[in-house]
């Protein structure tokens, strides 16, 4: 069963909030979430649509329409909104608004928490953010598996999102890049941060992004590059598939 709006607003409030003396966020994140909620439609038993995102309640699978923006480049992001600030550093782009993706994750019973993002950070390295890590109410409920699916002729290809990414030092995909963390974007003086920046899935730690990599070295902004040999042609329509992670 999908979560109620009241529960969703509570979960959204669990992400990092501005200090009390900070002016009220504009545009208001609560209002944005309520507007996104109105777009949810049931298309068949247990299957819902949110502005193109397909949500399957039983499996908690999300299917998000995207396209290949860049095949070959240094990256900090795997997915950004098409009008985002970091489209020059992302492989995938989408027309779906970040607030709608966050809502879809909440509706599918994923729980935003930062636990796991810095689990592999070198103890000698500087923390990318100072806030204490938060835990999901249900252990592991913020861990995601992400795949990409597209058509090649009559065949359908489906690969882990990590297949599109490589470590510039080792020139291969790290084994630990298969787990992603739904941390939930922060709310700051601008409102729901991901809606302002367009940052959705980040390989380099970014608390404004909705989802972050949990891979070793994610604190480095110079470590990640695309894996062109594994990425379909630019402008190819693809589907990003999110399911529960391990």
pLDDT (tens digit per residue) in 119-137: 999 998 999 999 999 999 9
Smallest CA-to-CA distance from 240 within 43, 51, 62 is with 62
Of the listed ranges 33-47, 48-62, 77-91, 118-132, the one predicted with least confidence: 33-47
Alpha helical stretches, state H, 147-210: 193-197
Domain boundaries in the chain? Answer: 5-244
pTM beyond 0.85: the answer is yes
Mean pLDDT over 96-114 rounds to 97
pLDDT computed for residue 9 by the predictor = 46
pLDDT computed for residue 32 by the predictor = 77
Which pair of structure tokens corresponds to residue 66?
Answer: 């995207």
Q: CB within 8 A of 124, min separation 6: which ones? A: none
pLDDT computed for residue 14 by the predictor = 45
pLDDT computed for residue 81 by the predictor = 98
pLDDT computed for residue 2 by the predictor = 61
- For residue 63, the number of C-alpha atoms closer than 13 Å in the C-beta half-sphere is 15
Element (H, E) at 31: helix 29-37
SS (H, E, C) 95-155: CCCHHHHHHHHHHCCCCCCCCCCCCCCCCCCCCCCCCCCCCCCCCCCCEEEEEEEEEECCE
**Dist. CA 50–CA 39, nearest whole Å:** 6
Averaged pLDDT of the chain:
90
pLDDT computed for residue 71 by the predictor = 98
Mean pLDDT over 215-230 rounds to 96
Mean pLDDT over 158-187 rounds to 95
């Amino acid at each position: 069963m999908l979560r109620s709006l009241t529960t969703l607003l509570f979960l959204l409030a669990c992400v990092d909030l501005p200090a009390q003396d900070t002016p009220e966020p504009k545009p208001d994140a609560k209002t944005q979430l309520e507007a996104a909620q109105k777009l949810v439609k049931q298309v068949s038993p247990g299957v819902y649509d949110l502005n193109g995102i397909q949500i399957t309640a039983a499996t908690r699978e999300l299917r998000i329409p995207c396209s290949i923006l860049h095949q070959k480049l240094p990256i900090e992001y795997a997915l950004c909104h098409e009008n985002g600030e970091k489209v020059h550093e992302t492989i995938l782009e989408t027309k779906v608004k970040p607030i709608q993706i966050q809502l879809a994750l909440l509706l599918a019973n994923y729980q935003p928490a930062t636990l796991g993002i810095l689990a592999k950070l070198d103890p000698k390295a500087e923390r990318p953010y100072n806030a204490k890590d938060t835990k999901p109410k249900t252990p592991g409920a913020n861990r995601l598996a992400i795949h990409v699916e597209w058509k090649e002729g009559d065949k359908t290809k489906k690969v882990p999102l990590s297949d599109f990414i490589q470590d510039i030092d080792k020139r291969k995909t790290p084994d630990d890049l298969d787990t992603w963390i739904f941390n939930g974007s922060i709310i700051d003086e601008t409102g729901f941060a991901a809606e302002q920046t367009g940052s959705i899935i980040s390989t380099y730690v970014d608390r404004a992004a909705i989802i972050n990599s949990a891979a070793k070295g994610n604190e480095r902004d110079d470590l990640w590059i695309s894996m062109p040999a594994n990425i379909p042609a630019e402008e190819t329509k693809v589907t990003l598939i999110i399911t529960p992670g391990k």
